[in-house]
Amino acid sequence: MADPNDEIRFQVIWNNLISIVEEQARTLMRTAFSPVVRDSGDLSAALFDCQGRMLAQALTGTPGHVNSTAAAVPLMLEEIPITQLEEGDHLITNDPWLASGHLHDVTILSPVFREGEAIGFFACTCHQLDIGGRGQGPDATSVFEEGLAIPVLKLVKKGVVNAELLKIIRNNVRTPEEVEADILSYVATNEVSATNLCLALDNLKINNLEKIGDEIIKRSRSSMIEEIRKIPKGKAHNQIVLDSFGTPVKISCTIEVGENGLLIDFAGSSPASTKGINLVYNYTNAYSCFGARCIIGPQIPNNTGSISAITVKAPKGSILNVEHPWPVAARHIIGQFLPEVVMGCLAKILPDRVPAEGSACLWGIQLRGGPEIDGNFEENSNWGKGRYETLFFNAGGMGARTKMDGLSATAFPSGVRAMPIEVVENSAPIVIWHKELRPNSAGIGQYRGGFGQKIVLSTIDGRPCGLFAMFDRTTTEAKGRSGGENGSAGRLYLKSGKDLDAKGFQLIGPNEHLCFELPGGGGFGSVKDRNPEYMIDDKRAGLLSNKANAEDE
């Protein structure tokens, strides 16, 4: 597009597509019934062409969902090709090996028809709080225990909802009304997005996405390769050891910078676990690509073109590439550390770009209450009788950046939002007594890491509950970089004094208070070079004690 007018037109078209997928994500959040989607944005929203190539994605959403959806759409179209789709059809699946790695994520793929011809697809992947089985946790020994598996099927055919399929779904989950309403809201969102796309194409006088899609993919791929070529050629290795679940987990990574792309190889990583902390390849690929893209070409749009410049290898049978029917429900525990491992490699090549390590893994507090929990304790007539499932996300501190302090209580790399306390307390019979930044949890340096947080909660009436623990960095700290100190490890325990396990389902007895101390991020650079005024500010805020920094007094 040498003609400046053509370039202006291309940018107008591109901005239209971005606004449509961003509105798609906002509509999902407005219409979903689950707080996980509505308030936290645990979703992906994207536009695909007829070849199944992701052209544009919404900024709202998680890398695990977005990049997994990019891989899922071509795989879904292998199951039900575009030639077998009609106007008003919508496909559904939650197959971990096709989509985003566990049964709790539902993907809806909807063809867009214009004047009787399919011109592309809208897809979204959203988290379901419950999908049956044991519930989301790492305790299962196979995927068969983890919930209802939905193969690629037509949820809607020619505008008519498959009532039999919905009935099967409803009868296999603990929150049937919420799950059904959520799934139908995803369908409605894709339909609205299709209407918006067709209106935009009418206004732009474009018949389909074929030519503009080719241009988007070509530009994105060539721009990414251009950025990779600016990096010194060669290899770099890094590894990280995570909390044990019986045996400590080692993630080993080697990055090779080539002339036309980046190779990320996880050879040497731990074998598959007997517990549900394993990853399918799609999810490993998703977070690995994201980690590289945080440092290399972050300004380039994330789509099939830019992702194609990165190749990810993970040995089959390793914890990062398991095959059916290995358990995978809590795959995010390991997956959200992959950007840290990848960036650790890149720090040896581009030390002035890469931040220190952070808390990485979300501390999603998932609780269950009701008869199946109460039955484990003596009867108490004061306990309520209703069943509930609740999940709310919390984040520790990010690592210090190379020129700025790390962000506190910020979800990186997942990007999900923390739910307001009022929403959490309204959706389940619990009370959050404390939610505050955790003093002295940040690694100090020229630039300090972000602070973790402390959360204390209980049920509203002293009723027992079940905790699905899916936490990490309780024995391993976020490492500082370039002389910065490590962040503090996390801890979970009962106010009565008992320490809780970081992973696995646990029964919490009556009248207990659960305490969560989230890890902090590592520091960057020597503390001797830190601006003294920043130290004073943190001390005044009560986030840094004199004892923790006695040597700097």
Average pLDDT over residues 356-376: 94
Q: What confidence score (pLDDT) does residue 199 get?
A: 98
Q: Is residue 291 one of the residues assigned to a domain?
A: no
Q: Are 327 and 470 in contact (CB under 8 A)?
A: no
Domain containing 121: what range? 4-220
Domain end, chosen from 192, 220, 248, is at 220
Q: Is residue 204 one of the residues assigned to a domain?
A: yes
Q: What confidence score (pLDDT) does residue 264 get?
A: 98
Count Cα neighbours of 124 within 13 Å in the Cβ-side half-sphere.
36
Average pLDDT over residues 66-70: 97
- What is the spatial distance between Cα 447 and Cα 148, in angstroms, rounded to a whole number? 47
Residue 264: its H or E element: strand 262-265
Q: What confidence score (pLDDT) does residue 245 get?
A: 85
Domain end, chosen from 161, 192, 220, is at 220
- What is the spatial distance between Cα 361 and Cα 341, in angstroms, rounded to a whole number? 13
pLDDT at 283 over 50: yes
Q: What confidence score (pLDDT) does residue 376 get?
A: 87
Task: Write the DSSP string, 259-273.
Answer: SS-EEEE-TTPPBPP
Look at residue 195 and give its three-state secondary structure. Answer: helix
Q: Is residue 26 one of the residues assigned to a domain?
A: yes
Lowest mean pLDDT segment, chosen from 22-31, 310-319, 541-550: 541-550
Reported as a single tens digit per residue, the pLDDT across 40-62 is 999 999 999 999 999 999 999 99
Residue 35 φ then ψ, to 5°: -60, -25
pLDDT at 223 over 60: yes
C-alpha distances in Å from residue 279, one per residue of 140, 246, 320, 333: 14, 17, 5, 9
- What is the spatial distance between Cα 163 and Cα 111, in angstroms, rounded to a whole number? 20
66 with 209, same domain? yes
C-alpha distances in Å from residue 54, one per residue of 121, 187, 300, 305: 9, 19, 14, 8
Average pLDDT over residues 54-82: 97
Q: What confidence score (pLDDT) does residue 550 get?
A: 42
What is the percentage of the chain residues whose pLDDT exceeds 70? 96
Look at residue 72 and give its three-state secondary structure. Answer: helix
385 with 530, same domain? yes
Residue 408 φ then ψ, to 5°: -90, 145
Q: Is residue 183 one of the residues assigned to a domain?
A: yes
Specify the pTM.
Answer: 0.95
Average pLDDT over residues 127-134: 96
Lowest mean pLDDT segment, chosen from 226-230, 368-372, 502-506: 368-372
Q: Are 440 and 470 in contact (CB under 8 A)?
A: no
Q: Is residue 200 one of the residues assigned to a domain?
A: yes
Reported as a single tens digit per residue, the pLDDT across 511-553 is 999 999 999 999 999 999 999 999 999 999 999 986 544 444 3
Look at residue 492 and give its three-state secondary structure. Answer: strand
- What is the spatial distance between Cα 207 and Cα 363, in angstroms, rounded to a whole number? 46
Domain end, chosen from 196, 220, 244, is at 220
- What is the spatial distance between Cα 51 and Cα 334, in angstroms, rounded to a whole number? 32
pLDDT at 381 over 60: no
Average pLDDT over residues 173-180: 95
- The count of structural domains within the chain is 2
Q: What confidence score (pLDDT) does residue 378 get?
A: 75
Q: What confidence score (pLDDT) does residue 552 get?
A: 42
Q: What is the CATH number of the domain that holds 161?
A: 3.30.450
Q: Is residue 45 one of the residues assigned to a domain?
A: yes
Average pLDDT, the chain: 95
Q: How many CB atoms lie within 10 A of CB 383?
A: 20
Q: What confidence score (pLDDT) does residue 549 get?
A: 47
Q: Which of these, 503, 514, 507, 498, lies nearest to 471 by C-alpha position?
A: 503
Q: What confidence score (pLDDT) does residue 232 get?
A: 95
Q: Is residue 500 one of the residues assigned to a domain?
A: yes
**One-letter amino acid identity for 456?**
V
Q: Is residue 50 one of the residues assigned to a domain?
A: yes
Helices 63-79 and 281-295 cross at an angle (nearest 10°) of: 130
Average pLDDT over residues 221-226: 98
Q: Which two tokens stand for residue 352?
A: 């002035």
388 with 537, same domain? yes
Reported as a single tens digit per residue, the pLDDT across 189-203 is 999 999 999 999 999
Buried b / exposed e along 301-311 (16+ C-beta atoms within 10 A): bbbbbbbbbbb
